């Protein structure tokens, strides 16, 4: 990142851009004071661990290799969530090492003066975009019903011609697991959790995000799930939003496969979930805007956004939180300050482009990627300037849903 860009990011909480600035729309009341911090500072090892971007090594492993000099990453005790995750995945130490290297490299201060394209070259790993599809209501997950998790290799987020990289879960596995109506995803170290939202077969499945062999894909949780949508991870726990029961539930990874659900918060018609660097959970609601909770389930803020769906946090940039809003011709994406919870910007596509249903959101370097479900297009905006950068991918599969950035060796 160039010095000028870094300075701009550090001031992003008060950023003024030329695209659809708001003077009150989308703003909500602050219920509790926010914690002011340097949101643009590199992620520390503890933050990487809390957010699931780096998993401490299991000290019981026979491997003694280090995580590229990150000395304050502690080992995983036998009763920890880190150990349980490795057991669920089959204790693949090589995959853990690859995932951790990716996280450490991406936050290294050595890369501060490099552009996004330069930062991730020559590191021995690659990034991929995973995309879930809504699927139909047929009883079985047939090819025509399009219950899929698609992969796209991202060599450079500034290029608009990424290559399809197959499926994350093969059709036979989709069928055997009874997956249907796929929704949100959460990456935790080498693992990927995916929500399957069919009301009578709701579940969250777990797979190796960096492997194209889906034999290890298995059911993580069924208990307490009823039409889940969003999935998010923080500090040893996986969170899921239930559309049919109007609640967010929490699972402790240390409980392993078949983990029990614990009620975390009540939210009317919840959709997307995302944690910010302060450990606050942002929950989109199609009826009640956006709710922000602390780790005790106490609401600390409420934001007035019409039909909020997807949520993404710029964890490695300025900390801004983006929320997709389905609002007819006014549909777009709001950007909120993590300090004041006030609207900084509203992003919309210029004509002749259309964005009637912004579904999934994710951030790659300085690009906010937005899934336009009805148009089957993936749009890009610059997070530094708020400018529209065009369509990254067109002709997406039918009813594209959520999107996630994954780092693999």
pLDDT digits (tens, 9 = 90+) for 177-230: 888 889 999 999 888 999 999 878 899 999 888 776 666 789 999 999 999 999
Mean pLDDT, contiguous 10-residue spans, the chain (409 residues): 39 32 36 58 86 65 30 48 87 47 43 34 63 70 69 77 79 85 90 89 88 78 95 96 97 95 97 96 96 96 96 93 94 95 95 94 93 94 94 89 83
For residue 119, being part of any structural domain is answered with: no
User: Residue 108 is encoded by which pair of tokens?
Assistant: 């290294």
User: Distance (Å, rounded) from C-alpha 278 to C-alpha 300?
Assistant: 12
For residue 39, being part of any structural domain is answered with: no
Number of domains, the chain = 1
For residue 334, being part of any structural domain is answered with: yes
Instruction: Give the single-character DSSP code of 33.
Output: P
Instruction: Give the single-character DSSP code of 356.
Output: S
Q: Hey, which residues does 362 pair with through a beta bridge?
A: 369
User: Residue 206 is encoded by which pair of tokens?
Assistant: 């777990």
Which residues in 360-385 are b (16+ Cβ under 10 Å) and which e? Answer: bbbbbbbbbbbbbbebebbbbbbbbe
The predicted pLDDT at position 395 comes to 87
Which residues in 184-197 are b (16+ Cβ under 10 Å) and which e? Answer: bbbbbbbbbbbbbb
The predicted pLDDT at position 195 comes to 94
For residue 60, being part of any structural domain is answered with: no
Nearest-5° Cα angle at 241, 261 to 393: 135
User: Distance (Å, rounded) from C-alpha 228 to C-alpha 289?
Assistant: 18
For residue 4, being part of any structural domain is answered with: no
Strands (E) in 217-366, as ranges, are 218-221, 228-234, 237-242, 247-252, 262-266, 270-275, 281-285, 289-293, 299-303, 308-313, 321-325, 332-336, 343-347, 358-364
For residue 20, being part of any structural domain is answered with: no
User: Residue 361 is encoded by which pair of tokens?
Assistant: 């959101």
| This prediction's pTM | 0.81
At 361, which CATH number? Answer: 2.120.10.30
> In which domain, by residue range, is 327 found?
127-137+144-407
Q: What mean pLDDT is reported for the chain? A: 78
User: Residue 68 is encoded by which pair of tokens?
Assistant: 């590229």
For residue 142, the tally of other CB atoms under 10 A from its CB is: 14
Q: Can you give the C-alpha Rg of the chain in angstroms?
A: 20
Classified as helix, coil or strand, 98 is: helix
For residue 122, being part of any structural domain is answered with: no
For residue 93, being part of any structural domain is answered with: no
Residue with structure tokens 């899921």?
Answer: 240
């Amino acid at each position: 990142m160039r010095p000028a860009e870094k300075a701009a990011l550090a001031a992003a909480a008060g950023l003024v851009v030329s695209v659809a600035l708001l003077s009150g729309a989308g703003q909500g009341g602050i219920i509790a004071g926010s914690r002011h911090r340097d949101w643009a500072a590199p992620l520390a090892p503890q933050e990487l661990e809390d957010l699931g971007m780096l998993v401490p090594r299991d000290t019981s492993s026979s491997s003694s290799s280090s995580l590229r000099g990150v000395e304050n990453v502690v080992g995983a005790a036998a009763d920890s969530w880190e150990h349980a995750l490795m057991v669920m995945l089959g204790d693949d130490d090589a995959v853990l090492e690859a995932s951790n290297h990716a996280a450490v490299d991406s936050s290294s201060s050595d890369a501060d003066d490099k552009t996004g394209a330069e930062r991730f070259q020559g590191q021995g790993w690659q990034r991929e975009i995973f995309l879930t599809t809504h699927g139909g209501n047929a009883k079985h997950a047939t090819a025509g019903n399009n219950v899929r998790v698609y992969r796209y290799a991202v060599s450079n987020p500034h290029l608009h011609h990424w290559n399809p990289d197959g499926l994350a879960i093969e059709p036979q596995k989709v069928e055997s697991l009874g997956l249907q109506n796929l929704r949100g995803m959460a990456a935790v170290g080498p693992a990927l959790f995916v929500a399957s939202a069919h009301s009578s077969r709701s579940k969250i499945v777990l797979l190796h995000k960096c492997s194209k062999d889906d034999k290890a894909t298995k059911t993580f949780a069924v208990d307490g799930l009823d039409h889940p949508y969003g999935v998010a991870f923080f500090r040893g726990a996986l969170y899921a939003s239930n559309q049919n029961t109007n609640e967010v539930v929490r699972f402790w990874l240390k409980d392993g496969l078949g983990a029990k659900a614990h009620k975390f918060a009540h939210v009317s018609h919840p959709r997307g979930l995302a944690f910010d660097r302060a450990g606050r959970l942002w929950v989109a609601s199609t009826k009640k805007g956006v709710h922000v909770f602390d780790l005790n389930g106490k609401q600390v803020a409420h934001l007035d956004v019409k039909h909020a769906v997807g949520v993404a946090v710029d964890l490695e940039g300025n900390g801004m939180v983006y929320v997709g809003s389905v609002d007819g011709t006014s549909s777009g994406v709001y950007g909120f300050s993590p300090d004041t919870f006030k609207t900084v910007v509203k992003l919309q596509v210029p004509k002749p482009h259309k964005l009637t249903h912004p579904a999934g959101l994710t951030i790659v370097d300085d690009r906010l990627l937005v899934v336009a479900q009805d148009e089957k297009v993936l749009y890009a905006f610059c997070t530094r300037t708020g400018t529209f950068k065009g369509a990254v991918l067109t002709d997406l599969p039918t009813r594209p849903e959520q999107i996630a950035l994954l780092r693999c060796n």
